[in-house]
Structure 1
Amino acid sequence: MKLSLPRIATLVATFTALILAIAKVIVGFMSGSVAVIASALDSILDMAVSIFNNIALKISESSPNSKYPYGKGKIEGLAALFEGLIITGSGVFIIYEAVRKILQKETISNFDISIYVMIFSIIVTAALVSFLLYVYKKTNNIVIKSDALHYKTDLVVNASVLVSLIIVKFTGLYWIDYVLSIAIGIYIIKEASEIIKEGFEILLDAALDFETIEKIKEILKKEPLVLDYHCLRTRKAGIRNFVDVHLVMTPDMKLKLAHSIVENVEEKIRNIDKNKKWIINIHADPYDDSLVNKMQEECD
């Protein structure tokens, strides 16, 4: 079975994170730098996130069936929640290790190799981010966009660790490494909270983004022979966007013409983002039931 470009991207990200994690773990324990070890743990989690993303993409891209008629796009929400909890735990562990080394007054050795591995990490991560952004532009896949943003934050972490090592090497102020590690731990927890929030939004059927909804409204307003609309509801699940709306048309309109209008509206909505699969359900009303205070009842 041929892999999609987004899934290939997640595999590349997984392999890259694995190489970086191995290099950082070896150097981190050789040097005793908590910041390098923290960065290594972050790379291990990056690898786990990319693996989860690949699995989530594989499942969410599967076709709907009789048991799952709306597809399995919400698996991405479950994966995000799981990833977020794991990442939160890692952030807590990093802070714990930094505090422990402060109390035990441990020092750092082998500065040169630690600096070299962080420079290597920055170069490789920058290349990976460029590749992921290229794939996102080609596919407009939200999972790949999230992965690219996540690895962008890694660039910041890696750069911070590099600066810390250089400062400690030339000043002997070891506390800088520990303070930075605590800052990295807090930063990782903050990023994890955003992932958890996104997972909840998917599972709770959050609406599509504001820009997309405004484009849908503009299509409905400009459609000839459509007098009004109401009960517009949207949600997303993986690569599928769902849209429900009521269109008001004249009561004496022929069914064939009404059907043609509905198909035209559906086609225009699908053209908003051709990389997404759209599930559109349009209800034709012979009158504006909002005028008789029934809109809310009909939408519920």
Structure 2
Amino acid sequence: MDKKSTATSAIIGGVVILIVKLYAWWISGSVALFSDALESIVNILASVMMFASVLISEKPPDEDHMYGHQKIENISCLIEGFLVIAAGLLIAWAAYGRLSNPVEIVELNIAVFISLFATSLNGVLSWLLMRTAGKTGSLALEGDAKHLLSDVISSVGVVIGLFIGEQLGIPVIDPLMAMIVAVLVLKMGVELVLKSGGGLMDESCGETEKEIRRIMDRHHQSFVDYHNLKTRKSGEMV
């Protein structure tokens, strides 16, 4: 699949996953599952931005953008990072309120089954995005893939926490797991902001420079000299 088709699949899949997770929360009342649903909303917004950035990044250079439009992918990744941080703060706020007022979870088995189904869909989407990102070098696709992968990991953690809480009869386990999810989401958001910021600040491509130097050293007899080697990355372009 090309970048556009993959981005479209991510949006459609995100909407389906959100509906499934909201239903799991509705029948169970679990704040941890609610936190999962909130993160799915962020996933959809991020996928929409990713799709727009992919379309813009493929535009050819023009008089106003002589180096092309690839940096839009860095901007998309930066905004996605801030959205992820916002979701993490909302999850932490909801969990904090439930810590002081734990609520018994109902219909847990059905809710967990539904949540795991949504998580498996997220895993498939993450794999699809990462595979296309590997083929195209798209930063926007890679960021969305890692975002979804983190969602999968946190969702599995939520399910484990819910089962432990049910077996031990301790309702407070549910909001505690939501707090852990919030920390994971916040960490992921900060990492996305830092990564996209590096591209926007024209951070050098260290590994690429090393490879260029190795190639030049192997063929030093074919040229006089080279100096002041500099690299930067714009979207998928180095």
TM tier, smaller:
over 0.9
In 1, Cα distance between equivalents of 2:209 and 2:117 = 43
In 2, Cα distance between equivalents of 1:87 and 1:198 = 14
In 1, Cα distance between equivalents of 2:100 and 2:74 = 40
2:208 — aligned with what?
212
Confirm or deny that 1:16 pairs with 2:35.
no
Answer whether contact 2:82 2:193 (CA < 8 A) is retained: yes
2:55 — aligned with what?
58
| Amino acid paired to 1:108 | I
2:25 — aligned with what?
28
Unaligned runs of 5+ in 1: 242-300
Q: Describe the SS at the equivalent of 2:70.
A: coil
Higher RCO (C-alpha 8 Å, min separation 6) = 2
Instruction: Give per-residue Cα distances to partners, 1:137-161, cap 9 Å, x unaligned.
Output: 4333333233222222122111111
Answer whether contact 1:61 1:239 (CA < 8 A) is retained: no
Match of 1:231 among 212, 222, 228: 228
Q: CA deviation at 1:131?
A: 2.1
Answer whether contact 1:34 1:177 (CA < 8 A) is retained: yes
| Amino acid paired to 2:15 | L
Q: CA deviation at 1:195?
A: 0.8
In 1, Cα distance between equivalents of 2:49 and 2:10 = 11
Aligned Cα RMSD in Å?
1.7
Q: CA deviation at 1:57?
A: 1.2
- Which has more strand, going by share of residues? 1
Match of 2:91 among 90, 94, 99: 94
Confirm or deny that 1:181 pairs with 2:173.
no
Confirm or deny that 1:125 pairs with 2:122.
yes
In 2, Cα distance between equivalents of 1:174 and 1:124 = 28
Unaligned runs of 5+ in 2: none
1:45 — aligned with what?
42
Aligned residue pairs, count = 237
In 2, Cα distance between equivalents of 1:195 and 1:85 = 8
| Amino acid paired to 1:141 | S
1:150 — aligned with what?
147
In 2, Cα distance between equivalents of 1:177 and 1:104 = 11
Answer whether contact 1:91 1:185 (CA < 8 A) is retained: yes
User: TM-score when scaled to structure 1?
Assistant: 0.74
In 1, Cα distance between equivalents of 2:137 and 2:73 = 16
Q: CA deviation at 1:34?
A: 0.8
Distance 1:86 1:144, change over 3 A: closer
Instruction: Give per-residue Cα distances to partners, 1:177-207, cap 9 Å, x unaligned.
Output: 1111011111111100011111211211111
Q: Describe the SS at the equivalent of 1:130.
A: helix
Answer whether contact 2:137 2:236 (CA < 8 A) is retained: no
In 1, Cα distance between equivalents of 2:136 and 2:222 = 35
- Which has more helix, going by share of residues? 2
Which has more radius of gyration?
Answer: 1
Q: CA deviation at 1:78?
A: 2.0
In 1, Cα distance between equivalents of 2:86 and 2:58 = 30
Match of 2:65 among 60, 65, 68: 68
Please identify, of 130-139 and 73-82, the stretch whose mean Cα deviation from structure 2 is larger. 130-139
Q: Describe the SS at the equivalent of 2:226.
A: strand
Please identify, of 217-226 and 20-29, the stretch whose mean Cα deviation from structure 2 is larger. 217-226
Instruction: Give per-residue Cα distances to partners, 1:100-137, cap 9 Å, x unaligned.
Output: 11222323222122111122023212222332233234
